[in-house]
Structure 1
Amino acid sequence: MTRTPETPLPSPKERRRLREAQSLSQADVAAAVGVTRATVRSWENGSTTPRGSKRDAYARLLTGAEEVTAHQENPAPALVGAATGPVQASPDHAETTPEPPSETPPAPEPQPELGPEPKPELAPGPEAELEPLSAPLTPDQAFDALYAFCAPALVRQTYLLTGRRELARESVERAFQLAWHRWPEVAMDRDPAGWVRATAYEFALSPWHRLRARHRNPEPPPTAPADRALLDVLLQLPPVYRRTLLLYDGVGLDLPETAAETEASTPAAANRLLHAREVVAKRLPELAEPKALHRRLAEVASAERLRAAKPTTVRWGGEQRARQWTRAAIAFTIVLIGATTLTLRTAPDHYEPPLAPGATVRGVPPRVAPGPLSAEELALRAKLKGETASGPERLVPEPG
């Protein structure tokens, strides 16, 4: 029996989805096929294509992942999750010290997010999977698919980043509203999920939240003492260290990707990560191992059972916000035009020379300060007081 020269393989994006559906890391696939982890990453990037026996083994592994997707369950809380089900982080966290990979970063595609959804809000289905479809998606369908894929886990990540449930939900909703407002830009981005994640983190860590009345008082901590202790340690870290630790040990990004998202160099991101791990290990020695920290982060986030809003609600809220800002801009423009028109109407339109200063009158005796009256002045005053108010009587001649 002859064999086809090339065993058919799914698309690079589908290869990664099938691997994550079986909760396999790139290191697991590399060990099963007999290649390095960098080779598996290049296969999923689409940079290279497996050939020969390794191609057949890789295809059988992916086919097996597709068959068990609907039936397998994850025995432990995963670090990253999507709307299609719980999956584990693709980077290998067995090492204690982050090492910059020599190969290029993974292919741009929506990243699965932290923590599995205990009771998925949307049932697994085509609308919750980011996979190629025969018919092109409308903007609404594409946005809803991205939201269903990222939002539930992104809310849990933002909760670990801020320690506030309402702020986590609000940050994710605002990020997706901005994504819907700029949808052509986000849809053409190399990593739409990373774009939304970075926007949500920036909004959640904004210092302006301190001025809001409802954010001045702390929210109730987690009920479990272990969860409360871990969250306290995270919140005591500087925001940039906390974000670096969450992205690398929680979400599962590589060190270069973590450095790029935190706008830092790779050595700086590595130093922040090591410092954050030292602080956590000093307070909680049982979490000194990266795998233990990875698992506990997912458990703390999943224990809160945070729920994201419906995608239609987020889209409607974004459109309402855009309409309000548009109306406010129009009103401000009208007021500015009215003020300008009033100024033009009331301002003088010709030159009016100023009035000449008055001429000085000369020859006027200076005013004398009051003082005692002289004898002549006293006599004159007595004479004036002795006469009637209407003056002396008029003499009228009488007939003789």
Structure 2
Amino acid sequence: MTRSVETTSSEDSELSLPAPKERRRLREAAELTHDEVAAAVGVTAATVRSWESGRTDPRGRKRELYTQFLARLSDRPQDGGPAGAPGEAKTARAAEEPAADPPVPDRPTPDGPTSDTQAPDRPALDRPTPDRPAPDRPTADAPTSDARTEPERLPAEPPARVPVPGPAEAFDGLYALAARDLTRQAYLLTGRRALALEAVEKAFVQAWDRWPEVATDPDPVGWVRAIAYEYALSPWHRFRRAHRHLDKPPAEPADRILLDALLSLSPANRRTVLLYDGVGLDLPDTAAETEATTPTAGHRLVHAHADLADRIPELADVPLEKQSALLRDLFTALRPPVDLEPRPAAVVRGGGERRTRLWTRATLSLTAMIAVSTSYTLMTAPTRYEPPLAPGESVSGVPPLAGPQQLTERGKQLHDKLRADPQAGPARIAPRIE
């Protein structure tokens, strides 16, 4: 069963984007820099220069944000004057601000003059003005006094303080915004539900561990997406038993053909196609996220489209300029056969904190064990060198000594001679004639 997919005629018909020269003129009229426009749209300054020069055009969500931003710039000068030279936008902005309250004239003292001739520069307080009614005349019962009492002014209520969201609330908002879409994208990259959920959770746990860096990043969703893609496409997952086999294929034949064709691509081409056609990034942003040059990303995209056209019948009959729009519709219409609902943000954030505490405790315990072992070794180790005693060995061929041996005749003569002549000195060994 095949499914017919309606393709859009062109992206320009959906969003009216001005010409490149008009984009630059609007930015210069508002006296904005490339960095300010890039921060407002969520891209880099180099991408804004590329859009204004006409080398590339924004696509997807970035195109919509850029078009709305230019529309606001084009409407802003019309309130303050004709659109023209730079600097008029700030004049119009200053004109929109409310004027400051006029200074209140000083009240005359009772001893001071109150006539118009003595104070010609301000109206008399008792004289009615067009915007001020005449004061009531004092009655007989009312006390007369030169000093008029002013109405008591109530203290102005302080403006209500809007609670600033903390890091946990900001993280939960980012998770609610991007977790489901990132899980679906990771499933298209891997074809495995468990690996897709694991990759997204790992990415958000790392984002929570480095939240100051993520919170100040111009594109926090892109920061998390890059980590999730890297983890999902890691080649080490093939050695894990849980991720060796794919999940069951989709029920629709068209979805099954699309998923099989996408998984048949190399990891680099698969990631490039998903970022460019599925997410809607332009070519420079796709190249930057895949850590490749723009020509390399373009070549990968061309080869990936050719391989997909050979496997997907609906894509083979579509011109090259319409393949991106058709692939985007196919990715959006694909229905996974498994549930891709991620866990709540509080659970993911709490799991990351719990894992951090466990690692911290394990590190402290290992450090304590090393310190104790080192101390015990220093206390029990000898302070000087003591050579080891050589072990005894048995010697064969030597008769055992059983006691004193009997003297021979010659031995007896020598024994008697030594006893009879016990003198010492050289004369003892001198020969003599007997």
Q: TM-score, normalised by structure 1?
A: 0.58
Aligned to 2:365: 331
1:29 aligns with 2:15: yes
Q: Please report how far the alpha carbon of residue 286 of structure 1 lies from its aligned counterpart in structure 2 after TM superposition.
A: 1.5
Structure 1: distance between partners of 2:257 and 2:30: 46
Structure 1: distance between partners of 2:342 and 2:24: 31
Structure 2: distance between partners of 1:48 and 1:28: 26
Structure 2: distance between partners of 1:313 and 1:38: 49
Of 322, 328, 331, which aligns to 1:297?
Answer: 331
Over aligned residue pairs, what C-alpha RMSD do you find? 3.8
CA separation of 1:186 and 1:228: change in aligned 2, threshold 3 A: same
1:255/1:266 contact within 8 Å kept: yes
Structure 2: distance between partners of 1:334 and 1:104: 59
CA separation of 1:238 and 1:154: change in aligned 2, threshold 3 A: same
1:233 aligns with 2:261: yes
Letter in 2 for 1:299: A
Q: Please report how far the alpha carbon of residue 168 of structure 1 lies from its aligned counterpart in structure 2 after TM superposition.
A: 1.0
Structure 2: distance between partners of 1:41 and 1:149: 32
Structure 2: distance between partners of 1:233 and 1:261: 23
Of 136, 150, 161, which aligns to 2:178?
Answer: 150
1:257 aligns with 2:285: yes
Of 316, 320, 331, which aligns to 2:350?
Answer: 316
Q: Please report how far the alpha carbon of residue 177 of structure 1 lies from its aligned counterpart in structure 2 after TM superposition.
A: 1.1
- When structure 1 is superposed on structure 2, of 206-215 and 301-310 the one drifting more is 301-310
Of 265, 270, 277, which aligns to 1:242?
Answer: 270
Aligned to 1:177: 205
Structure 1: distance between partners of 2:219 and 2:165: 17
CA separation of 1:39 and 1:260: change in aligned 2, threshold 3 A: farther
Aligned to 2:98: none
**1:9-61 residue CA offsets vs partner (Å, 9 max, x unmatched):** xxxxxxxxxxxxxxx96774335xxx226866997xxx65669xxxxxxxxxx
**1:162-211 residue CA offsets vs partner (Å, 9 max, x unmatched):** 10112111211111111111111110112111000001111111222222
Structure 2: distance between partners of 1:38 and 1:157: 36
- When structure 1 is superposed on structure 2, of 257-266 and 330-339 the one drifting more is 330-339
**1:365-399 residue CA offsets vs partner (Å, 9 max, x unmatched):** 779xxxxxxxxxxxxxxxxxxxxxxxxxxxxxxxx
Letter in 1 for 2:304: A
Structure 2: distance between partners of 1:266 and 1:157: 22
Structure 1: distance between partners of 2:215 and 2:265: 34
- When structure 1 is superposed on structure 2, of 205-214 and 185-194 the one drifting more is 205-214
- What pairs up with 1:1-16 in 2 under 5 angstroms? none
Letter in 2 for 1:292: L
The residue matched to 1:200 in structure 2 has which SS?
A: helix
Aligned to 2:216: 188
Aligned to 1:199: 227
Letter in 2 for 1:261: E
Of 23, 36, 55, which aligns to 1:102?
Answer: 55
1:30/1:36 contact within 8 Å kept: no
- What pairs up with 1:1-400 in 2 under 5 angstroms? 28-31=14-17, 35-36=18-19, 102=55, 135-288=163-316, 289-300=323-334, 306-352=340-386
The residue matched to 1:30 in structure 2 has which SS?
A: coil
Letter in 2 for 1:344: L
Structure 2: distance between partners of 1:48 and 1:303: 51
CA separation of 1:136 and 1:207: change in aligned 2, threshold 3 A: same
Structure 1: distance between partners of 2:224 and 2:178: 9
1:156/1:301 contact within 8 Å kept: no
Q: TM-score, normalised by structure 2?
A: 0.54
Q: Please report how far the alpha carbon of residue 245 of structure 1 lies from its aligned counterpart in structure 2 after TM superposition.
A: 0.6
Structure 2, unpaired ranges of 5+: 1-9, 32-46, 48-52, 66-160, 317-322, 400-434
2:284/2:294 contact within 8 Å kept: yes
Letter in 2 for 1:36: A
